[in-house]
């Protein structure tokens, strides 16, 4: 396998930010990285990792998570989806801005002139890491400086030593969120908070969704407004509603107040349904298209990696509008059917008449329908047949397994290093996120 080519930060920081269709919507201004970790024993060295990009869009300086980037090349950085978070960028503790913090920094008698990035791929993910550092040295005998390219490990002071919890977050970066949640439960509350602060928004959201709601509450109550906005944006609406449902009404409103108005309305609607019913289980975030859309459009939506498997398994076909609550539900087209039909075939000719449930259907009845028809998701409709959302089999399992099932799972045999008394983060790391 060929070694991935290097791409230089100075070049990236002049590229346009492109939407999913390739149209420019802004320009990249800086690159956000977090420190890595030296190898320990049999564990490999973790290089400094790119977690996102700072871009200027609509006269706002915003953060774009690296996982949102589908392609990074000489044409620009293209987003995976059409969604853009326009909340102002605010660096957090432990983050490094390559342009602002690293380039032009002195290293002995040399100066950092550029940072080289390399795309790293493994069985679990693809991401960008810092690979090389380009150093410049002025020469009194020559008009132009001389340059050399060194491994990032040769200039460790440049990237700073991560705190204990930053190192632990780096170690756990590729571990399944369910396993990270088990580790979090084994930590004292102060270290839970520190570990949460060291995670990026998307990672923390994934881990929160694997924790019991009461433990989710303890963590989010310690986050400041800016961090809450970022984490809530990454959470599924149904999981977010479950979390807020554990709070007192005043705390609910405080949390809803930090959200986008449209998103807050969605969560309020979910909170209005009785616990133990289909309305309380459903998510409005599914793939919805009109009957005139074709197979090619549907497959393009299904390919979006942000969709979980149970959601991407089918497309719901409705009358306008195409955001829940929609117009009348016309039917479902399963992904297997999409793969068998020509790209220009209209979805209206392919819909299956799968069963639906009403918002007041009990959890038990929903589970029986999913099992009886071998479905990964079932649609929820109102009395007029309008599509309200869908219930996925994983959410039904969460509910049917009962309260506390996550805490009954076997904890890791070996406690993380961060849990040891001598691994506690320094005092400055115990403050709220920057």
Return the pLDDT at 144.
77
Q: Which 8-state DSSP code applies to residue 410?
A: P
Residues 191 and 199 sit within 8 Å (Cβ to Cβ): no
Q: Which 8-state DSSP code applies to residue 117?
A: E
Q: Which 8-state DSSP code applies to residue 425?
A: P
Q: H helices of 331-391, where?
A: 335-340, 363-372
Return the pLDDT at 414.
42
Q: Hey, CA dihedral for 411, 416, 419, 421, is it positive or negative?
A: positive
To the nearest 10°, the Cα dihedral for 192, 195, 196, 199? -160
Answer whether the bond into residue 54 is a cis peptide, omega within 30°: no
CATH top class, domain 164-272+407-419: mainly alpha
Q: Judging by DSSP bridges, how do beta strands 288-289 and 314-318 pair with one another?
A: parallel
Residues 187 and 425 sit within 8 Å (Cβ to Cβ): no
The DSSP element (H or E) to which 269 belongs, if any, is helix 261-271
Return the pLDDT at 404.
55
Q: How far apart are CA 343 and CA 136, in angstroms?
A: 53
Measured over all CA atoms, what is the biggest interatomic distance in the chain, rounded to whole angstroms?
84
Residues 232 and 259 sit within 8 Å (Cβ to Cβ): yes
Stated pTM of the model: 0.60
Residues 291 and 347 sit within 8 Å (Cβ to Cβ): yes
Distances (CA, A) of 410 to 211, 358, 407: 14, 36, 8
Q: Helix or strand or coil: residue 272?
A: coil
Answer whether the bond into residue 325 is a cis peptide, omega within 30°: yes
Which distant-in-sequence residues (6+ apart) come within 8 Å of 352 by Cβ? Answer: 331, 332, 333, 334, 337
Answer whether the bond into residue 207 is a cis peptide, omega within 30°: no
Residues 55 and 17 sit within 8 Å (Cβ to Cβ): yes
The neighbour count for residue 302, using CB atoms within 10 Å, is 18
Return the pLDDT at 425.
33
Task: Please give the chain's pLDDT, 434 residues, in tens.
Answer: 456 688 999 999 989 999 888 899 999 999 999 887 776 666 677 788 898 899 999 888 998 888 888 888 888 999 988 777 777 787 776 788 999 989 988 888 889 999 999 988 765 667 889 999 999 987 666 667 888 999 998 888 888 766 777 767 766 766 888 888 888 888 888 888 888 888 878 888 889 988 888 888 888 888 888 788 888 888 888 888 888 888 888 888 988 988 888 889 999 999 999 888 999 889 999 999 999 999 999 999 998 877 888 899 999 999 999 999 999 999 999 999 999 999 999 999 999 999 999 999 999 999 999 999 999 999 999 999 999 999 999 888 877 776 555 555 544 444 444 433 333 333 333 333 32
Domain extents for the chain?
A: 6-158, 164-272+407-419, 288-400
Q: How far apart are CA 343 and CA 345, in angstroms?
A: 6
Q: How far apart are CA 169 and CA 174, in angstroms?
A: 10
Under CATH, what is the fold of the domain 288-400? CBS-domain (3.10.580)
């Amino acid at each position: 396998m060929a070694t991935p080519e290097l791409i230089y930060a100075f070049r990236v920081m002049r590229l346009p930010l492109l939407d999913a269709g390739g149209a420019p919507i802004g320009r990249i201004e800086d690159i956000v990285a977090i420190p890595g970790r030296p190898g320990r024993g049999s564990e490999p060295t973790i290089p400094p990792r790119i977690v996102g990009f700072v871009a200027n869009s609509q006269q706002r300086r915003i953060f774009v998570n690296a996982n949102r980037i589908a392609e990074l090349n000489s044409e620009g950085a293209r987003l995976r989806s059409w969604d853009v978070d326009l909340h102002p960028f605010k660096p957090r503790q432990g983050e490094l801005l390559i342009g602002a913090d690293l380039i032009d920094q002195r290293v002995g008698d040399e100066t950092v002139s550029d940072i080289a990035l390399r795309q790293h791929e493994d069985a679990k993910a693809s991401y960008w890491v810092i690979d090389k550092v380009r150093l410049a040295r002025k020469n009194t005998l020559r008009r132009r400086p001389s340059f050399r390219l060194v491994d990032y490990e040769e200039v460790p002071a440049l990237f700073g030593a991560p705190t204990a919890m930053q190192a632990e977050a780096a170690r756990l970066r590729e571990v399944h969120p369910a396993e990270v949640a088990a580790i979090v439960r084994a930590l004292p509350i102060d270290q839970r908070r520190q570990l949460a602060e060291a995670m990026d928004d998307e990672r923390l959201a994934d881990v929160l969704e694997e924790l019991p709601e009461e433990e989710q509450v303890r963590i989010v109550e310690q986050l400041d407004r800016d961090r809450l906005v970022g984490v809530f944006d990454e959470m599924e609406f149904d999981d977010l509603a479950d979390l807020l449902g554990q709070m007192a009404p005043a705390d609910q409103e405080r949390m809803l107040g930090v959200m986008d108005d449209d998103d807050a309305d969605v969560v309020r609607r979910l909170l209005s349904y009785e616990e133990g019913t289909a309305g309380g289980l459903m998510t409005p975030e599914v793939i919805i298209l009109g009957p005139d859309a074709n197979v090619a459009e549907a497959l393009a939506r299904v390919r979006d990696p942000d969709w979980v498997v149970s959601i991407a398994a089918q497309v719901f076909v409705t009358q306008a509008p195409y955001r829940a609550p929609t117009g009348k539900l016309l039917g479902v087209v399963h992904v297997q059917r999409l793969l068998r039909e020509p790209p220009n075939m209209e979805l209206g000719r392919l819909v299956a008449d799968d069963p639906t449930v009403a918002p007041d259907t009990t959890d038990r009845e929903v589970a029986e329908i999913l099992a009886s028809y071998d479905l990964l998701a079932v649609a929820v409709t109102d009395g007029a047949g309008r599509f309200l959302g869908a219930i996925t089999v994983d959410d039904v399992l969460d509910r049917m397994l009962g309260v506390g099932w996550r805490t009954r799972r076997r904890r890791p045999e070996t406690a993380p290093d961060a849990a040891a008394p001598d691994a506690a983060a320094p005092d400055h790391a115990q403050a709220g996120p920057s």
